[in-house]
Amino acid sequence: MNPSVSTLKDELIQTLKTNYGYSPEDATDRQMYGSVLTVVQSYLSRKRADYLDSLKQNDKKRIYYMSMEFLVGRSLRNNLYNLNMESAMKQAVSELGFDLETIYDMEPDPGLGNGGLGRLASCYMDAATTLEYPFTGFSIRYEFGIFRQKIVDGWQMEFPDDWLELGGYWLTPRNDEAMEIHFDGHVEEKWDEHGLTTIHRDYYTVRAVPYDLMISGKDSKTVNCLRLWRAEAPTSQSFDMHTFSRGEYVKSMEEDAKAESISKVLYPADDHIEGKRLRLKQQYFFVSASLQTIIREHLRNNPTLDNLPEKAVIHINDTHPALCVPELMRILLDECGYEWETAWELTCRTLAYTNHTVMSEALERWDLGLFEQHLPRITSIIKEINRRFCKDVFDFHPEKRGQLSSMAIIGDNQVRMANLCVVACYSVNGVSALHSDILKNDLFKDYNDIFPGKLTNVTNGIASRRWLCQDNPLLSDYITELIGDGFVHDWDQLAKLRDFADDSAVLRKLADIKLENKKRLAKYISTANGINVDPSSLFDVQVKRLHEYKRQLMNALHICHLYLQIKNHGLTIQPRTFLFGAKASPGYYMAKEIIRFICALGDVINRDPAVKGMLKVIFLADYKVSLAEMIYPAAEISEQISQAGKEASGTGNMKMMLNGALTLGTMDGANIEIYNQVGPDNIFIFGMDTDQVNQTRLNGYNPRGLYESDPHIREVLDFVRDGGLDGKNFDSIREYLLNSDTYMSLADFDSYRQMQAHVGDVYRDAETWNRMSLLNIAGAGYFSADRAVQEYVDHIWSNQ
């Protein structure tokens, strides 16, 4: 499938004509955009049809990846790249008088996720598809993805993200595969000669309509689908003659709106879990629709479900799809007539679970009452799972009887979703070596004792082809010049770059490329923020969701410290541009205060002539995948400064490393594995490690003592208290740091400050810096999603 430029031109002309009635001379960019997407989509469909055909011949185990979030990012460049059609399309479009880059920029980011977890799902889908695995993603077709962020006077404002108008081209509705989902009502148990049957009565129905988004692998035959469910009122309800004849036309429309609300909006929180009714309905809605599909597909190819675990694995991305456990049980028990024991065995052997957090406020728990009201049958199944589990522990693990109240699935009138997953799934994994150790030795210790071997690790990986080859073509072309293009499918080959570590011409060229990418970002900043930054200054980047534990505030405090040192104490520093990008969960007050603090700091610093040429602070609004794709290639320092033990893995750290940035970080999450890949000389590690954090907590963290004893901290906090930031009141920040900062920013501050000074010193020596940068690229192969997916296949998805 390698269409020539002239074929593509013909197809574009034809599409413009049929869809819009225009010839290229009269068409707008918008119309050309629609035509390019339509043409690419038709190539994908044909390839998908061939692939489905070939699947009939080989009976590979199916992988179903369940995730409330898929942060897919833009698709056009990705598809053209994967189909090896980019240069032909560029030329075709250009010969018709348009510019492909402009078209790329018109595509909205489908923001169907909050951050790392959602992006990981998409990275894995890309990799699994390239590796030719039959992988289906399941999620929700949110009408509104993650909100668009604007900053008004330093304060985050949220606006709806209407991505479907221009992003919907990639979605194929499949009404033929719609499913029905049942909510509310009550269950009746009936004994007859066949035993006990359970009947769910008086429920209301929501229709789930799938929209498929096709994803092609790179140089592979496979085209997989991300199936996104949209909620609708059942067709019969919309035409319910009774309602109409009673004159309740408007009421019937209200019912429709109620059903549709389920897939209306992505919950923008990824910190503390609020037990919101609609969120629970979203979870059951997409879990039930997906499982019904999986079962139907299995029964199309197999006479029975007895072999389900051999033919399919259903992977649960965090606990959000944990209802897979009781829903699969329900289907097996109520719809397929299995006995409990067999149903349970099949369920356990089909489900695997990845945990992404150890922070207790982020562990999902739901009120039992809410469950009973909306999911009565599911609740009765969960209660029975819990009863049997507790009995087993009591009978067979008497040493754990004392732990049973925390190990139980139901406790304090709540359903604990993580416990449900650990009890039911045959595999439970963390996302970095450290995180998985914490799961085994701490959070899930008691389960690890009774289910030996169940807990494992798969360190996260990233879609390196997107994050390097597509986003940083200058760098990936140059790497190809140096070591050939084998790395595109074998990322360990990046290690060959180490041969050039002492080649000053290579190092200079790498620096030139970085500078080009910085210029591009500087241009964007000048338009978006109206501020000119110096592309030759050190670009120091912290982009990620805003969270106390990620400690953006510690970064900001240090910037404030530098500012005061330059202004009041005559310090001169290596010129730096500090870049932030972060969305705060809309109800997370402290996170929004931290954004306000960073913006106020930027306002003061960016206009102060005393630090001109040395310091700039930029807050980039509306951080999202497409912005990340411009930022990472320009990053030189990658700030990964979470409190040790809190960041499960981090994946931005891997993306920046791959683009030649050096990590400034704590011994947390995947930073530890980055450290192992590059060695101590090529990374800037500071601060307490996990043991020291725990020790400090035991000994009592004393932020006031640090304030008294460290003149740098005192200077910064007093400056803020005394209205140094344009007279703005930041008591909230000061109070937080001195009284309630669980993440102990002040305890790591001095070590951070010293390491930052060291970073500046190293940067002055360009050759040394560039060498470190090269060694980071060379060590980034391990973090490819190709490796991670292969580990899932080898250690999790092939087992049952």
* Contact of 670 with 435, CB cutoff 8 Å: no
Contact 83, 1 (CB under 8 A): yes
Catalytic residue among 9, 47, 74, 544: 544
Q: What is the closest distance, in whole angstroms, from the C-beta atom of residue 494 to ligand 26Q in the complex?
A: 21
DSSP string, 639-690: EE-PPTTT-S--SHHHHHHHTTPEEEE-S-TTHHHHHHHH-GGGSEE-S--H
CA 292 and chain centroid, separation: 26
* Contact range with ligand 26Q by CB under 6 A, out of 91-99, 113-121, 129-137, 750-758: 113-121
**Should residue 636 be labelled a site residue for ligand 26Q when binding is judged by CB under 6 A?**
no
Q: Report the alpha-carbon distance of residue 170 to residue 141 in Å, rounded.
A: 12
Catalytic position from the list 550, 558, 561, 771: 550
Measured CA distances, 640 to 61, 91, 664, 780, 791 (Å): 37, 41, 6, 16, 25
Q: Of 428, 315, 301, 352, whose CA–CA distance to 63 is shortest?
A: 315
CA atoms within a 13 Å half-sphere pointing along the CA-CB vector of 457: 17
Residue count of the chain: 800
- The single residue of 77, 509, 655, 753 carrying the catalytic annotation is 655
Q: How is residue 194 written in tokens? A: 């066949």
Based on the shown chain and the rule CB under 6 A, indicate whether residue 650 belongs to the binding site for ligand 26Q: yes
Q: For the chain, percent helix, then strand, then coil, each to nearest 5? A: 55, 15, 30
| Choice from 24, 108, 115, 326 touching ligand 26Q (CB under 6 A) | 115
DSSP assignment of 49-95 equals HHHHHHHHH--PPEEEEE-S-------HHHHHHHTT-HHHHHHHHHH
Interface with ligand 26Q, residue 415, by CB under 6 A: no
Can you tell me whether residue 107 is helix, strand or coil? coil
Whichever of 320 and 576 has its CB closer to ligand 26Q, that residue is: 320
Q: Which is nearer to ligand 26Q, 143 or 446 (CB)?
A: 143
Q: Is 270 in the site for ligand 26Q (CB under 6 A)?
A: yes
Structure tokens that stand for 89 in this block = 């399309």
Tally of CA atoms within 13 A in the half-sphere of 596 that contains its CB: 19
Is there a catalytic annotation at residue 387?
A: no
Q: Which stretch binds ligand 26Q (CB under 6 A): 210-218, 642-650, 674-682, 746-754?
A: 642-650
Catalytic-residue membership of 592 = no
Residues 192-231 interacting with ligand 26Q (rule: CB under 6 A): none
Residue 431 sits in the site that holds ligand 26Q (CB under 6 A): yes
281 among known catalytic residues:
no
- Collapse the DSSP code of 606 into the 3-class scheme (helix H, G, I; strand E, B; otherwise coil) and give the result: helix
Interface residue with ligand 26Q among 16, 71, 117, 295 (CB under 6 A) is 117
**328, 556, 595, 648: which one contacts ligand 26Q (CB under 6 A)?**
648
190 is catalytic: no
Please name which of 360, 460, 369, 376 lies closest in space to residue 418, comparing C-alpha atoms.
Answer: 360
CB-based contact 455:449 (threshold 8 Å)? no
Spell 456-485 as b/e; 16+ CB within 10 A means b: bbbbbbbbbbbbbbbbbebbbebbeebbee
| SS3 category, 225 | strand
* Binder among 111, 116, 134, 703 for ligand 26Q (CB under 6 A): 116
CA geometry: angle at 103 spanning 520 and 785, to 5°?
70
364 touches ligand 26Q (CB under 6 A): yes
Whole-angstrom Cα distance, residue 446 to residue 405?
A: 11
Q: What is the DSSP letter of 145?
A: -
Q: Which of 163, 183, 267, 752 binds ligand 26Q (CB under 6 A)?
A: 267
Provide the mask over 496-525, with x wherever binding to ligand 26Q is found by CB under 6 A and - wherever it is not: ------------------------------
Report residue 296 as tokens.
């139907």
CB 787 within 8 A of CB 461: yes
Query: Is residue 544 annotated as part of the catalytic site, yes or no?
Result: yes
Question: Of the listed pieces 263-271, 497-505, 689-697, 734-742, which binds ligand 26Q according to CB under 6 A?
Answer: 263-271
**Minimum CB distance to ligand 26Q, residue 558 (Å):** 22
Which string of x and - marks every residue 652-681 that binds ligand 26Q (by CB under 6 A)? -----------------x------------
> Are residues 483 and 501 in contact, defined by beta-carbon separation less than 8 angstroms?
no
CA distance 164 to 167: 5
Task: Report the nearest approach of ligand 26Q to the CB of residue 366 (Å).
Answer: 9
Instruction: Find the binding residues for ligand 26Q in span 57-76 (CB under 6 A).
Output: none
Q: How far is the CB of 467 from ligand 26Q (least distance, A)?
A: 14
To ligand 26Q, the closest distance from the beta carbon of 642 in angstroms equals 8
Show Cβ contacts of residue 394 under 8 Å, excluding neighbours closer than 6 positions: 401, 404
- Please state, in angstroms and rounded to a whole number, the distance separating the CA atoms of residues 453 and 456: 7
- Report strand pairing: 171-173 vs 365-367: unpaired
**436 belongs to the binding site for ligand 26Q (CB under 6 A):** no
What's the min distance (Å) between Cβ of 646 and ligand 26Q?
A: 8
598 in Cβ contact with 617 (< 8 Å): yes
Which residue out of 330, 356, 547, 596 is catalytically annotated?
A: 356
- Give the residue closest to ligand 26Q by C-beta: 116
CB of 679 vs ligand 26Q, minimal distance in Å: 23
Per-residue mark of binding to ligand 26Q, 446-465 (x: CB under 6 A): --------------x-----
Q: Are 758 and 684 in contact (CB under 8 A)?
A: yes
CB of 788 to ligand 26Q, least distance (A): 10
Q: How far is the CB of 161 from ligand 26Q (least distance, A)?
A: 16
To the nearest whole angstrom, how small is the minimum distance from the Cβ of residue 104 to ligand 26Q?
26
Per rule CB under 6 A, is residue 356 in the interface with ligand 26Q?
A: yes
Is 264 within 8 Å of 117 (Cβ atoms)? no
Tell which one of 651, 690, 770, 800 touches ligand 26Q (CB under 6 A).
651
376 binds ligand 26Q (CB under 6 A): no
Active site residue 545: yes
Q: Which stretch binds ligand 26Q (CB under 6 A): 267-275, 333-341, 462-470, 514-522?
A: 267-275
Stretch that binds ligand 26Q, among 144-152, 356-364, 370-378, 388-396 (CB under 6 A): 356-364
Q: Is 139 in the site for ligand 26Q (CB under 6 A)?
A: no
Q: Which is catalytic among the residues 293, 357, 577, 651? A: 651
Count of residues of this chain found to bind ligand 26Q when the rule CB under 6 A is applied: 23
Q: Which residues bind ligand 26Q (CB under 6 A)?
A: 114-117, 120, 267, 269-270, 273, 279, 320, 356-357, 362, 364, 431, 460, 647-651, 669
Active site residues per annotation = 356, 544-545, 550, 651, 655
